[in-house]
Structure 1
């Protein structure tokens, strides 16, 4: 298939997916809230070793992640790490434009940094649909857990005006690298997927108005 034909096909697929999501989508209602296991702050892998070992891996063993690992990854990305509410990743003005979600074959989790908790809802497997919105990258569907980094730049707009989107994107990078290094320290593998159609993905996940999906991070045990 020629490049032009491929682009047209991708655009048509995204438009069809978007139409379905718009017809079916609304802000999701979570049915349960759970306390996540207390994060471990004394790991056995040094920062230097984690940096050296971090690689993008796209094949995963069919083994679910324990809730302890999921909680640790979320804490590394947006966990509260100081008494005044500052988080693990820097944010412009400490306004925190990010929300973290986890998609598994059976549920969606939304991280609540305060008190290190998550709200959850049971769902059909959303990974195939998200794969279709990420140029059919197989890792999105193959990983037992899919970390979703969503941004709401409007939280920064009042202070930073036109630079809000830039600062939100920078924040995404900070949080994502934290989670990638944490994955290494936990003996997991991961890959970042930036080629995602953010607005339709947000609708598929039932995210609140104003949030868009910026990054997907398939994560799991190595195949």
Structure 2
């Protein structure tokens, strides 16, 4: 091989390697892990009332949500219910491809269903970047808490093959509706946002490479 051709080949290889490294960048490390307050298992609003009252609300008061409120919302979406390992939302084969995160002005939280715990890391406010990736929807940037539903369809692939992705999408809907109904019971404003550019949003949040963002749920006290 001529020297010029060799240099071109080496340069191309370096570029390809650099691009792959960027695409597979290491996920951000969480620095604190805490148990969340135990979720409440009863309330003053019936399921029927919650269904009747649920509406998409896009304007929020700036007040931060208490940690027990955030924990209750996360439990409704992916919490362990009863005994064993089964969760609040149904999952194909009980393989659970979803991960829940919460973005606040100063922090990113990752929900750990086993033990009803959360790991957190301090972060600059990522809501404006996520808003830009959600066709500029103001609710994404203004909500005091932004619940992020991420998915790793690969967890279902070995058993379900090509059906893994639609099954994952179905599960996102189950979990989101649970969260929205729980928000209604708690007197909160919330709205589901599906118009989000998933892979760039996952990179913004420094999620593991296999995960993509599928749904955003801005939530807070109503304005």
Q: Which has the larger radius of gyration?
A: 2
| Aligned twin of 2:82 | 82
| Aligned twin of 2:59 | 59
| Aligned twin of 2:111 | 111
Deviation string 1:167-193 (CA, Å, 9 cap, x unpaired) is 000000000000000000111010011
The ranges of structure 1 where at least 4 consecutive aligned residues each deviate by more than 4 angstroms after the TM superposition are none
TM-score (norm 1): 0.89
| Aligned twin of 1:123 | 123
| Aligned twin of 1:27 | 27
| Aligned twin of 2:205 | 205
| Aligned twin of 1:50 | 50
* Aligned equivalents of 2:43, 2:200: Cα separation in 1: 37
Cα offset, 1:84, TM superposition: 2.0
Deviation string 1:71-107 (CA, Å, 9 cap, x unpaired) is 0000000000021210000000000010000000000
Count residues in correspondence.
203
2:147 corresponds to 1:151: no
Deviation string 1:126-154 (CA, Å, 9 cap, x unpaired) is 00000000000000011000000000000
* Aligned equivalents of 1:119, 1:58: Cα separation in 2: 27
Q: Which runs of 5+ in 1 are unaligned?
A: 1-18
SS of aligned partner of 1:202: helix
Q: Which runs of 5+ in 2 are unaligned?
A: 1-18
* Aligned equivalents of 2:152, 2:124: Cα separation in 1: 26
Q: Is the 8 A contact 1:76 1:178 kept in 2?
A: yes
* Aligned equivalents of 1:84, 1:216: Cα separation in 2: 28
Q: Is the 8 A contact 1:26 1:203 kept in 2?
A: no
TM-score (norm 2): 0.89
